[in-house]
Homo-oligomer: A and B are copies of this chain.
Amino acid sequence: MPLTTDQQQEIEAARAAEGRTRRPVAPGLEALLYQAVPVLDHGFVRVIDYMGDDAAVVQAARVSYGRGTRAANEDRGLIRYLMRHRHSTPFEMCEIKFHVKLPIFIARQWIRHRTANVNEYSARYSILDREFYIPAPEQLAAQSTANRQGRGEVLAGEEAARVLDLLRGDAMQTYDHYAWMLNEDADGTPLDPGRQGLARELARMNLTLNTYTQWYWKTNLHNLFHFLALRSDTHAQYEIRVYADAMLEMVKAWVPACHEAFVDYRMGAATFSAGMLGVVRRLLAGEAVEQPGSGLSKREWRELMETLGRPVA
């Protein structure tokens, strides 16, 4: 469980305090607000705040004066149209803020998404907790042989056990040395008054990349969908995908019509080049197209056949 009792109580207090507002309210997300959804062994993601709902997207697309009186069905149709045709600006009108606890090596991947606002817990200023990510045995995968950037079979037996021992041992040892170098307790009191203690901004360099950090991460719905399309995808690294999957559920509770359109038109969607499209048309016309005469490279042909559910042997 990633939260201390104090933290859990702060969250409960925040959840208990309701107020009145004239702003749009998304009931589904209100129900989840502030709650930490566990991810990995010590991480979590939780929604801290949000702005807007499905109707706000519609309202922005129409630059209207009020929430309008259109049928919900018309709104859904417009949202689907906007998503299908990549009209992105109305989706930028909704905003969401997450609090995320995550391993540093995943934070480094995540931060590549530049169009977000971030406040990270500072190890220059504060002391990090003694928490590291250790993969569950079923996630201890070998390097893929087909893909330089992917995983293959799960490790087993001796090798798996040894890997887990090394990860755990090194993380604990480097953390203990970090703590020794700092020479201070949580209040900043020296542990050993005979020593000065290394500056926090230096000592942190001894930690391993699976140490947990945390941040506030705020973005708009359009940029969030871009993040989710890349990270809630089978090609994404498992350790970031589990965060994306949890966030996608929160999006569903927040803006159900946008979520539905996203799932229908972007998850599982495939882009065909003009050349691939030509092959599809020829196939539909009954022609027996083969790679050599297709105008596609072998690699493109293989990708196309996989997309069409006809994987090349």
Contact = CB atoms under 8 A, between A and B. Distances in A.
A44 B151 CA distance: 33
Interface residues of A, number: 138
A196 interface: yes
Contacts of A133: 205
Copies of this polypeptide in the complex:
4
A238 to B, nearest CB: 9
B149 A122 contact: yes
Of A17, A105, A173, A182, chain B has the most CB atoms within 10 Å of the CB of A105
Is the contact region of chain A dominated by helix, strand, or loop, or is it mixed?
mixed
Interface string A287-309: 00000000001011001000111
A307 B237 contact: no
A202 B209 CA distance: 10
A215 B310 CA distance: 39
A49 to B, nearest CB: 5
A93 B120 CA distance: 12
B10 A15 contact: no
A22 B17 contact: yes
29 contacts: A13-B66, A49-B56, A60-B119, A89-B112, A92-B117, A107-B108, A108-B111, A109-B124, A124-B237, A139-B202, A143-B184, A143-B198, A151-B199, A152-B199, A155-B198, A167-B206, A170-B170, A170-B177, A174-B174, A204-B209, A205-B210, A207-B209, A208-B208, A264-B274, A268-B277, A269-B277, A270-B272, A280-B280, A283-B284
